[in-house]
Amino acid sequence: MPGKLQKFAEFEQFKNCFSFHFMELNKGFPMKGKWREQFFKNSNPLVLELGCGKGEYTVGLGEKNRNKNFVGVDLKGNRIWTGAKYALENKLNNIAFLRSRIDFIENCFEKEEVDEIWITFPDPQPQKTRARKRLTNIRFLNYYKKIVKPGGIIHLKTDSTSLYEYTLEVLKENNFSIIWHTNNLYKDCPADRKELIEIKTYYEKLFTERGEDIKYILFQLN
């Protein structure tokens, strides 16, 4: 297994990987508004996984849904390397990865360019002083609202009861549509939505092995 520095070097050379840095904010991201045209070369729906880590969910969704395009977003290039390498080796041309801060997301995607977003096991930032860093804080939801198409859906999967309850509260306070939610996904998962439990991130495997309940919210930013 290559070391961290080698992974960073390889990440920069992978044809399915892109980076967007703070110093580029003024000149903009060249793929913005052009993901389908320039990379995927189709008109299929565009789906993001935010905080994708090693990209298990991005890859899992991409394998099951070849008629959709997937972009995993994370700040850690050495983590993304795992999913990106797998996608290249298995010729999963509907998968790409973006190394960027999540609060730069509106600089990387055009208005209404995205059809769907997954937020899988983000850091719950349990301290009250860090609420603004939660990926379902209204600050982030407003970023997503700019890039998601009207009617686009957002998924949250988490083991954190506090983040689950916090997110429901934020959605209700801002009159966003909560389509469905549960505090025990493995018990309540609908028969026609088995992909919700068939694909597991590294952390999800750890949590379920410990017997922890997985929470899930499906919502829209009206």
Token look-up 């088995």 returns 194
Q: Is 123 a catalytic residue?
A: yes
For residue 186, give Cα distances in angstroms to 51, 125, 141, 202: 22, 24, 26, 16
- Given the residues 123, 159, 192, 213, select the one marked as catalytic: 123
CB atoms within 10 A of CB 179: 11
Burial classification of residue 211, based on how many CB atoms lie within 10 Å of its CB (0-12 exposed, 13-18 middle, 19 or more buried)? exposed
Give exposure, 72-84, as e/b (b: 16+ Cβ within 10 Å). Answer: bbbebbbbbbbbb
Token pair for 1: 């297994």
- Residue 13 in contact with residue 97, Cβ under 8 Å? no
Strand order in the sheet with 177-182: 17-19, 95-99, 69-74, 46-50, 114-120, 148-158, 215-220, 177-182
Q: How many Å apart are CA 105 and CA 39, to the nearest integer? A: 18
Q: At what angle do helices 4-13 and 77-89 cross, to 10 degrees?
A: 60
The residues that are catalytic are: 123
